[in-house]
Amino acid sequence: MGGALPLSDSYFVTEHQRDTAFLRQCLRYDDSAERHELEERIAQVQRKDRCVQRAVWLMILLTGLSGAGLAYGAVLQENFSYGEAWFVVRLLCEIGLASLICLVAFVGLFMVYRMELNRLREQCRRLATTLLESRLGNPAATSLTGVVQAQELTMNHNKVVVSAAEMAPEPRGLMSQ
């Protein structure tokens, strides 16, 4: 199926990735230079993001292996903390500490890339909205009077309950009475 999203069939795809793929698919209907630049920047940040994710998993693995090596030696080896095994203990501790430091740095870098990707997705939304408005016109305003008692608005993942009266201003004729 030619119109399917490229990431929709994968088992381990997050909602964030599906949303980004959908936005990129919507922008393919626009042929502006801004869209091409935005799509290239999104692809570049996604590559960096995947690279940092792999590095995070590698640091988790190294930390776990060094911890497992220390636990094995401490439990199953006699005189593990001194003598001939001191070199192994020191090496495992250094590897574990270095991987923990790298893990913290990579998680910070992952968060920076994720914030950049979120910013680019917001630009993508604005461009898609502009594209839809240019092709379809402005959306028609709908009256919420009598239809909705309370509505949940989600803004930046914070839910706020707003009454219908707060969402839609009253018609001017009713306010003067």
What gap in Å lies between CA 84 and CA 71, rounded to an integer? Answer: 17
Q: Cα–Cα distances in Å, from 108 out to 19, 43, 103?
A: 23, 20, 9
The verdict on pTM exceeding 0.75 is no
Q: What is the pLDDT of residues 120-144, one digit of tens each?
A: 989 988 888 888 888 777 777 665 5
* Percent of all residues in the chain with a pLDDT value above 90, rounded to a whole number: 31
What gap in Å lies between CA 55 and CA 47, rounded to an integer? Answer: 12
pLDDT of residue 11: 61
Burial (Cβ within 10 Å: 0-12, 13-18, ≥19) of residue 100:
middle
* Percent of all residues in the chain with a pLDDT value above 70, rounded to a whole number: 68
Residue 76 CB coordination number (10 Å): 8
